[in-house]
Structure 1
Amino acid sequence: MKLTALLVDDESPARDELRYLLGKYPEINVIGEASSGEEAIENVIELNPDVVFLDIKLWDMDGFEVARRIFEKGKTPIIIFATAYDEYAVKAFEINAVDYILKPFSADRLEKAVQKVINMFKNQRQSEEVLRIAEYLRTKEIPLCNKLSVWKNGRIYLICPEDICYCVAVEKGSIVKTRQGEFSTSYTLSELEEKIKSPNFFRTHKSYLVNLDRVKEIIPWFNGTFILSIQGYEKDEVPVSRRQAKELRKLFDI
């Protein structure tokens, strides 16, 4: 029996280490890698792997959001979460993930996770476990918070979503640009979308989330894309990807 695997981590050395450790298992064939949540979802759709080794803390979204979107696409790979933080392991087991592995990777711990997956496939139990994950992710609700906690100069501030102009993804978090200034947060853009839950916020690009009420000007760009001018941040150029340009045209009837 040969199982195909996809490795998802935003750090190349971590992917390299995991690929090396998995090389000792002839039952596992690594068929692809992804460095972001969006890329992981695309690769799962294209490659249809049996197993996904999924880092929980990615630069553009967390691993739980990636898993939810994978299942929404009708794909049901086995998920093994990877994390450097023990507290995430608890949540991983709450959603009935097959297993989790902690960073730095332990050969013994990986051995147990791989054998667990192999045994599941031998006993044809993978569908049952995946459906449990899917059901949890489908029914789990993230509570709506009226204010967001952000950081500036070592202090925590609470801001209202309507004061946000736009957000841009950075490594391990986001920069939130508001009418009161710029702040940092550990939330990914996907987490911010979930917390804000407002139709006024539009993902113009994988790295940008925009409050449409703050858009001052839409500037046509090359290859059917756009650049947005944002109130209070007119000197910034906020891109609209080709994929999202179509949705933007619908929103503003362009």
Structure 2
Amino acid sequence: MDSIRICIVEDDERDALILQQALDRFADENDASIDAIVLRDGAEIVDNYPPDLDIVFLDIEMGGLDGLSAARAIRARDEEVIIFFVTNMIQFALEGYTVNATAYIVKPLRYPLFSAHMARAVQAIEHRKEHFVTLRSGREQVFVNSNKIMYVETSQKRSLVHTDANSIFCSEALQAIEKKLDSGQFFRVHASFLVNLAYVDTVTPKDVIVRGTAIPISKHRKRFFMKVLADYKGRFL
């Protein structure tokens, strides 16, 4: 994947160095490319927010703008960046969830736990990248980002692809479309329906709810589907 852009916001030079060394080790062990910068105060990242950030590591207790306040300002402009709090002030954990923090990394940093957090973060970053597939719609070839496909259904001997923005009629069978999509992300819940696990909100006794739409699930597929769904969602927690 592309280089992972990271910003460390830490006013303690030693703690910042420890985090940098942990990132270097993770990059070496996972053949990853990491581009990291270090800032010394929350106000620095708020006033000069670096473009295209993937991950921010925020100390909570800093001499200037604290990490929680900085995180609120960051969230106001960037809903997708992954935020990790690196702190010994675990009592603020609940407040951290208000800014959709991914996790708390408690000082002193323990590398095995840090590495596990980073692995999940990298998976989440890779997941939201654009992955285009080609679909046939009449005489046209349509390029669709598969991560934006919520579900696909059979419709009048054709297929109807529902994305988060619109719906596209395809001249291909559901089975043909299924072969083009990531089997780890899409699941055939019914002979007539294929769903993107990322968009599943909940599961009822008879249906899978995908962004408010109830989609029937076959009885003989449900047990395996629940296992696959749990494994998929667990990768991003």
Please indicate the TM-score interval, normalised by the length of the shorter structure: 0.3 to 0.5
Q: TM-score, normalised on structure 2?
A: 0.48
Q: TM-score, normalised on structure 1?
A: 0.45
Asked which structure has the greater CA Rg, the reply is 2
